[in-house]
Structure 1
Amino acid sequence: MASFKIEGGHKLNGTITPQGAKNEALQVICAVLLTPEKVIINNIPDIIDVNKLIFILGELGVKIEKLAPNSYSFQADEINLKYLESAEFKRDGSSLRGSIMIVGPLLARFGKGYIPRPGGDKIGRRRLDTHFEGFINLGAKFRYNKEEYFYGVETETGLVGTDMLLDEASVTGTANIIMAAVLAKGTTTIYNAACEPYIQQLSKMLNSMGAKISGVGSNLLTIEGVESLGGCEHRILPDMIEIGSWVGMAAMTRSALTIKDVSWKDLGQIPNVFRKLGIKLEKKGDDIFIPEQDSYEIQNYIDGSVLTVADAPWPGFTPDLLSIVLVVATQAKGTVLIHQKMFESRLFFVDKLIDMGAKVILCDPHRATVIGHNFESQLKATKMTSPDIRAGISLLIAALSAKGTSIINNIEQIDRGYENIEARLKSIGAKIERIED
């Protein structure tokens, strides 16, 4: 297990280009299974979770060629379905939550899809019902092996389009059902569909392959099934979560940073929420410029009550940035309530911030009140362990602003979602070192 050694209290300065979006990459890479033709995907982030998925596709028989550092071609013309029932797949698939999204395309094209219970962040209960209920609605038969925690869906006569109302606007669930429905007979409507930019990108990519998806960007999707899909070339959006992470770093270290090519139109509420925390964000073309600020003040509501920052399905604020907002608030002027609605374990990392001197009251598993220091009291360096991807980067941000030298263990969690993070931080002046145990 590797660790980061971080000497805090140094200002950052310079320009950062965000990596490709992790969550989009996991979806669109699975979509290559829908066609025997070649698919080229650009701006793929070089991170553990995405590389694991590419490895699984390779074991499944997909021909993969690395064209450039972040560009790959995929051709799924000779798929080895026996791999899906192997011990190796049960091991490989269970280590990556994103592997669930191979099931929809495999079911659509080959009539069957299997998956071991997937892993991922330990941030609370993350059920798979939405995925499998969608497949059952399309005519698939579901089975589950309790001894081996192994899920399967099969159809002998092919999937048939239908109308469905999702029980929750699950992003990965919506993606999986879309990929299953594009090759189904007839028309499928999905109401209460997730409409995040990742889903919009997946839909645009599938349409460029010959799918017929309308309502893209809304929560009501209509999919007319087609006989087959062809190849395409697709570019992944910049990662909005990483963009928010860089904004948080700039604020906490009182630094000036430029974040390049952020695709402003796809950031939703993210700039607004940081501005409510008092952080200045300037739009310069398609870049974000964060000027150096000695302090930032949280805006109360117009009636004077304390600001609440809560997550919600798109176009609401993404839950993946709440950990970062919480850390940033520890040095703001004022008080904010952080309400994490979706995952009941994601706020449990706040004990580490309290150890560093932050004023955080954990009200319950979903809510924390943060009373900002306004930089009158610097966080103190400490030794800590990263519990998940977003908490990991949040603790890294805290360490960059803290007085002294911090150690963060279990940094594989950070590597799962952030490409080459220490080299990119060093390029803008951070004092960070990777220590291999």
Structure 2
Amino acid sequence: MESKAFIVEGGHKLSGEITPQGAKNEALQILCAVLLTEEKVTIHNIPNIIDVMKLIEILGDLGVKVNKLDEGSYEFTADAVDIHYLESDEFAQKAAKLRGSIMVLGPLLARFGFAKVPKPGGDKIGRRRLDTHFLGFTKLGASFNYDDRSSFYSIDAKNLEGKYILLDEPSVTGTANVIMAAVMAKGKTTIYNAACEPYIKQLCRMLNRMGANIQGAGSNLLEIEGVERLGGTTHTMLPDMIEIGSFIGLAAMTGSELTIKDCRIDELGQIPGVFQKLGIQMEFRGDDIYIPAQENYKMERFIDGSILNIADGPWPMFTPDLLSIVLVASIKAKGTVMIHQKMFESRLFFVDKLIDMGAQIILSDPHRATVIGSNNERPLRGISMTSPDIRAGVALLIAALSAEGKSTIYNIEQIDRGYQFIDERLRALGAKIERV
């Protein structure tokens, strides 16, 4: 298949309002939670992006009745799930292409006592272990098998029982999967070192409305009393915090005045503060973030005068998905910053494209890059480049929109996996971007 590309003419100021899509990383677990009940579940603010639409398709193939109400709103009724579909070649092909397919395991185990998935794909950003999911399931009493020949993980669990589980890492998807497996297990499950992300809070709120009994959501210690069954509910997804951060970086790099609407600022954690450390000004107006046009912005230093260091970590630390955006936004600032990507190796390898565009960046190793900001004195120049993963793709798109001249970005399927209609939405702000 021929790769699509964006052709971007940089150097234009943008202006206006933009509303973030629903959160991709919330969608994958919330959608799988519909498998926990035979009653109708209505979900609003679902983003129209490839990964999410593929997951909805897999749910439909499994026998879930899917009814689209309007853009972003769907009803799901899982009263006739065909568990045998998991054995089909079609499921093997579709699920292997979608990392989010791993999230069907927990709910299917809880309701049917059996589940299997092929080894999933997804972004190439270094190793991403799945051990946390399976260690959690086996603690609850499931037996786990991996078949080398077919690359299938299969799990049997006729009688899940509540246990004390210390997760080996605070994985968001791992925590979500174990929560969904535990809500109907016999007795009490305690999950320690649980992920604290807003997405986990959202899942717990939804499950509690369905009749689950989960305490401690948003902390690293969850207590779950198993219940007999769950019912239907209506759920509205959070706005995508990664889009919100991307738009803050976009406004700064292009010197634009932008208003980001309906941000759920109370759920953004450190995100606004980290961009403010780069010197980017913003005002909170109700639930909107207003960013004034800034020709120049100056990075802070630490109190002792040492150089700014921005690192990622599990929530409530700064999300790794925005580190590439912070890196790009610091190119134009005054000052120097060390970007330390602790959680994934090889996520910083896209900086070679930024160096080709004229950025002053030293890549120390796969985890650390030092950016020497230009104070807007040397604009980037447009080049031809390829997007390696979803987040780097948008970081390169932001760099291209701020650069002088034309850029071509290939492999934009990667960007489409995470951002809905991004070219149309940016054109509405005045960006010169076309899809070819």
Do the structures match in fold with TM over 0.5? yes
Instruction: Write the letter of the residue equivalent to 1:138.
Output: L
Q: Cα deviation per residue 1:223-247 (whole Å; 9 max; x = unaligned)? A: 0000000000000000000000000
Matched, 1:102 2:99: no
- SS class of match (1:406): strand
Provide the residue aligned with 1:373 in structure 2.
374
Query: Deviation at 1:395?
Result: 0.3
Q: Cα deviation per residue 1:202-234 (whole Å; 9 max; x = unaligned)? A: 000000000000011110000000000000000
Q: How many percent identity over aligned positions?
A: 68
User: Matches of residues 165-314 of structure 1 in structure 2 within 5 Å?
Assistant: 165-314=166-315
Provide the residue aligned with 1:412 in structure 2.
413
- SS class of match (1:424): helix
Cα distance between partner residues in 1 of 2:353 and 2:149: 37
Q: Cα deviation per residue 1:262-313 (whole Å; 9 max; x = unaligned)? A: 0010000001000000000100000000001011111010111111100011
Provide the residue aligned with 1:134 in structure 2.
136
Q: What is the total number of aligned residue pairs between the two structures?
A: 434
- SS class of match (1:326): helix
Cα distance between partner residues in 2 of 1:271 and 1:226: 39
Provide the residue aligned with 1:6 in structure 2.
8
- SS class of match (1:39): strand
Provide the residue aligned with 2:147 in structure 1.
145
Instruction: Write the letter of the residue equivalent to 2:147.
Output: N
Cα distance between partner residues in 2 of 1:308 and 1:147: 45
Query: Deviation at 1:87?
Result: 1.0
- SS class of match (2:328): helix
Provide the residue aligned with 2:81 in structure 1.
79
Where structure 2 has 5 or more consecutive residues not aligned to the other structure, the ranges are none
Matched, 1:90 2:123: no
Cα distance between partner residues in 2 of 1:130 and 1:142: 13
Provide the residue aligned with 2:156 in structure 1.
154
Provide the residue aligned with 1:112 in structure 2.
114
Matched, 1:54 2:56: yes
Q: Cα deviation per residue 1:304-328 (whole Å; 9 max; x = unaligned)? A: 1111100011111000000000011
Provide the residue aligned with 1:427 in structure 2.
428
Cα distance between partner residues in 2 of 1:408 and 1:47: 19
Instruction: Write the letter of the residue equivalent to 1:253.
Output: T
Cα distance between partner residues in 2 of 1:308 and 1:114: 42
Cα distance between partner residues in 1 of 2:341 and 2:98: 23
Query: Deviation at 1:151?
Result: 0.4
Instruction: Write the letter of the residue equivalent to 1:180.
Output: A
- SS class of match (2:435): strand
Cα distance between partner residues in 1 of 2:424 and 2:69: 23
Instruction: Write the letter of the residue equivalent to 1:160.
Output: E
Moved over 6 A (4+): none
Query: Deviation at 1:140?
Result: 0.1
Cα distance between partner residues in 1 of 2:376 and 2:274: 20
Query: Deviation at 1:86?
Result: 1.1
Q: Bigger shift: 223-232 or 74-83?
A: 74-83
Instruction: Write the letter of the residue equivalent to 1:48.
Output: I
Matched, 1:42 2:44: yes
Query: Deviation at 1:85?
Result: 1.2
Query: Deviation at 1:81?
Result: 1.1
Cα distance between partner residues in 1 of 2:380 and 2:157: 57
Query: Deviation at 1:34?
Result: 0.3
Q: Cα deviation per residue 1:373-395 (whole Å; 9 max; x = unaligned)? A: 11100101000111110000000
- SS class of match (1:358): coil
Cα distance between partner residues in 2 of 1:2 and 1:374: 34
Query: Deviation at 1:330?
Result: 0.9
Q: Cα deviation per residue 1:168-215 (whole Å; 9 max; x = unaligned)? A: 000000000000000100000000000100000000000000000001
Instruction: Write the letter of the residue equivalent to 1:121.
Output: D
Query: Deviation at 1:37?
Result: 0.5
- SS class of match (1:414): helix
Query: Deviation at 1:401?
Result: 0.3
- SS class of match (1:228): coil
Cα distance between partner residues in 1 of 2:289 and 2:327: 21
Provide the residue aligned with 2:326 in structure 1.
325
Instruction: Write the letter of the residue equivalent to 2:121.
Output: G
Cα distance between partner residues in 1 of 2:134 and 2:403: 45
- SS class of match (1:325): helix
Instruction: Write the letter of the residue equivalent to 1:404.
Output: G
- SS class of match (2:67): strand
- SS class of match (1:363): strand
